[in-house]
């Protein structure tokens, strides 16, 4: 396991530019749950996942989660759910003090790599329509808006864009994800 982790870090280190030298990407472990829940509250307020919800999500089947660390402290986290066709980004968050330093971009990279390795045809996500920094990251990663979910984020009643990014040649961002209906 330690050898696999070292190989993963080596391959990521080769792909990431120099400004990532201070950043360590890793799989989530049990000790990260409390910190992730704390970051959830900092970032998402009333809509944040509780510690129990984070724990439940990490234990759910077909999930993959990663964390970003700076000197061993968790500064960001992200995860996907793979339904057999699409990889749905369940959450992505970066500590406020590290936003704008490409941590979200690095996490998107590791999620994309994992989704491709699982054979996902595309990645999907929802993002608040007023979250300009996140929208910029997603657009730069190749995501396109394919729908709108009214009052998606509760309790704030915020709308969300549904976005998709093709991972396999010849696929389209359009088309309904398994279990969802997206108006055209």
Mean pLDDT, 10 residues at a time, over the chain (184 residues)? Answer: 41 47 86 96 91 94 94 92 96 94 92 95 96 92 94 91 88 54 46
pLDDT value of position 97: 93
> What pLDDT was estimated at residue 47?
86
The pLDDT, as a whole number, for residue 18 is 42
Strand pairing class (73-82; 86-94): antiparallel
Contact 49, 40 (CB under 8 A): yes
pLDDT for 171 equals: 60
pLDDT, residue 164, reads 96
Cα–Cα distances in Å, from 125 out to 86, 135, 183? 10, 11, 15
pLDDT, position 168: 77
Please give the pLDDT value at position 71.
81
Tell me, what's the pLDDT at 170? 62
Q: How far apart are CA 143 and CA 54, in angstroms?
A: 26
| pLDDT of amino acid 21 | 73
Q: Indicate the class that CATH gives domain 2-166.
A: alpha beta
């Amino acid at each position: 396991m330690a050898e696999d982790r070292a190989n993963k870090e080596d391959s990521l280190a080769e792909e990431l530019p120099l400004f990532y030298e201070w950043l360590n990407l890793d799989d989530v472990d049990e000790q990260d749950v409390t910190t992730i829940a704390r970051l959830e509250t900092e970032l998402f307020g009333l809509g944040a996942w509780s510690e129990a919800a984070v724990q439940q999500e990490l234990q759910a089947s077909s999930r993959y989660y990663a964390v970003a660390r700076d000197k061993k402290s968790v500064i960001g986290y992200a995860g996907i759910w793979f339904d057999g066709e699409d990889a749905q980004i369940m959450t992505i968050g970066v500590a406020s003090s590290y936003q704008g330093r490409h941590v979200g971009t690095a996490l998107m990279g590791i999620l994309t790599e994992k989704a491709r390795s699982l054979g996902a045809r595309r990645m999907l996500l929802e993002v608040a329509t007023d979250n300009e920094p996140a929208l910029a990251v997603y657009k730069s990663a190749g995501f396109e808006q394919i729908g709108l979910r009214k009052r998606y984020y509760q309790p704030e009643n915020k709308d969300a864009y549904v976005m998709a990014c093709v991972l396999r040649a010849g696929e389209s961002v359009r088309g309904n994800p398994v279990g969802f209906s997206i108006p055209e």
